[in-house]
């Protein structure tokens, strides 16, 4: 056992070294370890992350969201190619809530970003799946850290706007970009509450051909709507712009906006403050997750659950009282 542990420790250190050296196969293996649900892998993943943490490059993390068909993969392919041509290393990760709900995947099923996937400066990781959104989000955050240790200075995190996935992605990026299509004129109709507030930029894609005029009109409407929100604490004024991913129009300007954002918020200290706040939230979230999982896995708690639910259903005890009773039993078991 002792020997085994030593061996594992050694191989994880070795894996960390290879990741830090930019070995793509090692990075992929590291992320697989993070995504694994086996308890022994969880321990190894923690160790790996610890080893990689101090060696990360300075990065910009950008979240990209939009409904299926809006052009996310086309956009990312074009943007990614531009960035790699500038000799930047780009990692593309995804949070795909559909895979946790339907077991199918909106993001993963088709062949996506064909050119970028052959680019040696790009790393594309298909989505983790088969877990709760919280679980997938945590794994994506940890994968970001490994990518940064491997020298990827631009991290693009993609998601479809399903459930709470936008909130999850927003909580792990510096800049949040919302891709939209020009609609039938009433652009704000059907916008999910809160998503507008999270956006640092609203990008109307497919501004080409007959659609160009409509896209410009949509841009104006979004610009007016964004104007009505109170200023963000980081002093950034969200922008509405148009682009055509398939014709490579406006993409470079969008990247310039992201670099402007990074320069401005770094200068004023908000960039780091946001990352610190995110770290604090992840810390609190991790505590909550650990406590919850320990509670629900406790044998005594498991056996007490069904009878208490019965009592609640037959109005013998209130849900609140039952919960308090169970938590007290759990806590006294810890002493
Ligand atoms: P995703 O589901 O959001 O990843 O969307 P895709 O990138 O797969 O694009 C969906 C469809 O829209 C594809 O047929 C693309 O070729 C097309 N598309 C993407 N961007 C543009 C664009 O800027 N203009 C036009 N006209 N079509 C586009």
pLDDT tens digits for range 306-315: 999 999 999 9
Q: How far is the CA of 62 from the centre of ligand 1 (A)?
A: 19
Instruction: Report the C-alpha gap between 253 and 239 in whole angstroms.
Output: 12
Residue 109 Cβ inside 6 Å of ligand 1? The answer reads no
Alpha helices (H) along the chain: 2-20, 24-35, 39-52, 72-85, 97-101, 133-149, 165-170, 195-198, 212-227, 251-267, 270-297, 299-313, 319-334
Residue 319 Cβ inside 6 Å of ligand 1? The answer reads no
- Mean pLDDT throughout 110-120? 82
Three-state DSSP state, 77: helix
Bridge partners of 76? Answer: none
Bridge partners of 104? Answer: none
Residue 52 has pLDDT above 90, yes or no: yes
Q: What is the DSSP letter of 208?
A: S
Instruction: Report the C-alpha gap between 79 and 245 in whole angstroms.
Output: 8
Taking CA atoms only, the protein residue closest to ligand 1 atom 10 is 69
Taking CA atoms only, the protein residue closest to ligand 1 atom 9 is 71
Instruction: Report the C-alpha gap between 22 and 126 in whole angstroms.
Output: 19
Q: How far is the CA of 243 from the centre of ligand 1 (A)?
A: 12
Q: Are 155 and 164 in contact (CB under 8 A)?
A: no
Instruction: Report the C-alpha gap between 329 and 119 in whole angstroms.
Output: 56
Convert the pLDDT of each residue in 269-307 to its tens digit: 999 999 999 999 999 988 998 899 899 999 999 999 999
Q: List the structure tokens of 64.
A: 């990209």
Alpha-carbon 134 to chain mean position? 10
What percent of the chain is modeled with pLDDT above 70? 87
Identify the pLDDT of residue 161: 73
First-last CA distance in the chain: 30
Name the CA radius of gyration of the chain, rounded. 23
Convert the pLDDT of each residue in 187-205 to its tens digit: 666 666 688 889 999 999 9
Q: How far is the CA of 173 from the centre of ligand 1 (A)?
A: 24
Instruction: Report the C-alpha gap between 308 and 330 in whole angstroms.
Output: 14
Band of the pLDDT at 3, cuts 50, 70, 90?
very low
Pocket test for ligand 1, best of 98, 241, 246, 249 (most atoms within 8 A of CB): 246
Pocket test for ligand 1, best of 245, 247, 254 (most atoms within 8 A of CB): 245
Convert the pLDDT of each residue in 213-270 to its tens digit: 999 999 999 999 888 888 889 999 999 999 999 999 999 999 999 999 999 999 999 9
Residue 110 has pLDDT above 80, yes or no: no
Instruction: Report the C-alpha gap between 169 and 185 in whole angstroms.
Output: 28
Q: Are 182 and 211 in contact (CB under 8 A)?
A: yes
151 contact partners, CB below 8 Å, separation of at least 6: 22, 57, 89
Band of the pLDDT at 2, cuts 50, 70, 90?
very low
- Mean pLDDT throughout 114-142? 84
CB atoms within 10 A of CB 255: 17
Q: How far is the CA of 70 from the centre of ligand 1 (A)?
A: 6
Question: What average pLDDT is seen over the chain?
Answer: 89
Identify the pLDDT of residue 188: 67
Taking CA atoms only, the protein residue closest to ligand 1 atom 11 is 69
Determine phi and psi for 2, rounding to 5 degrees.
-55, -45
Instruction: Report the C-alpha gap between 317 and 330 in whole angstroms.
Output: 18
Instruction: Report the C-alpha gap between 263 and 192 in whole angstroms.
Output: 30
Residue 206 has pLDDT above 60, yes or no: yes
Residue 106 has pLDDT above 60, yes or no: no
Longest dimension (CA), the chain: 70
pTM of the model: 0.89
Residue 245 Cβ inside 6 Å of ligand 1? The answer reads yes
Convert the pLDDT of each residue in 12-50 to its tens digit: 999 999 999 999 999 999 999 998 888 889 899 999 999
Bridge partners of 156? Answer: 62, 92
Q: How far is the CA of 148 from the centre of ligand 1 (A)?
A: 29
Q: CA-CA distances (angstroms) from residue 277 to 29, 69, 97, 117, 271?
A: 29, 33, 24, 33, 10
Identify the pLDDT of residue 109: 47
- Mean pLDDT throughout 122-149? 85
Instruction: Report the C-alpha gap between 31 and 147 in whole angstroms.
Output: 9
């Amino acid at each position: 056992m002792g020997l085994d542990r030593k061996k594992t420790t050694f191989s994880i250190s070795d894996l960390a070294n290879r990741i830090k050296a930019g070995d793509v196969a090692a990075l992929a293996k590291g992320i697989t370890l993070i995504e694994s649900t086996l308890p022994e892998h969880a321990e190894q993943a923690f160790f790996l992350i610890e080893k990689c943490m101090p060696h990360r490059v300075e990065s910009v993390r950008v979240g990209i969201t939009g409904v299926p068909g809006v052009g996310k993969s086309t956009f990312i392919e074009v943007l990614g190619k531009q960035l790699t041509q500038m000799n930047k290393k780009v990692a593309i990760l995804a949070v795909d809530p559909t895979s946790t709900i339907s077991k199918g995947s909106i993001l993963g099923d088709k062949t996506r970003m064909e050119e970028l996937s052959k680019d040696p400066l790009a790393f594309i990781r298909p989505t983790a799946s088969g877990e709760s959104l919280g679980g997938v989000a945590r794994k994506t955050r940890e994968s970001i850290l490994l990518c940064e240790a491997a020298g990827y200075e631009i991290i693009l995190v993609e998601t479809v706007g399903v459930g709470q996935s936008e909130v999850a992605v927003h909580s792990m990026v510096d800049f949040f970009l919302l891709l939209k299509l020009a609609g039938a004129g009433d652009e704000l109709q059907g916008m999910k509450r809160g998503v507008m507030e999270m956006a640092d930029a609203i990008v109307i894609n497919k501004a080409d051909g007959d659609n160009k005029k409509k896209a410009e009109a949509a841009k104006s409407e979004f610009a007016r709507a964004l104007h009505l929100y109170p200023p963000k604490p980081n002093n950034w004024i969200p922008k509405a712009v148009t682009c055509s991913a398939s014709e490579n129009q406006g993409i470079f300007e969008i990247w310039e906006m992201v670099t402007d954002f990074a320069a401005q918020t770094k200068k004023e200290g908000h960039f780091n403050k946001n990352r610190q706040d995110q770290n604090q939230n992840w810390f609190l979230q991790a505590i909550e997750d650990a406590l919850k999982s320990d509670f629900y896995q406790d044998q005594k708690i498991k056996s007490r659950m069904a009878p208490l639910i019965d009592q609640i259903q037959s109005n013998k005890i209130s849900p609140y009282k039952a919960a308090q009773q169970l938590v007290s039993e759990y806590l006294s078991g810890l002493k």
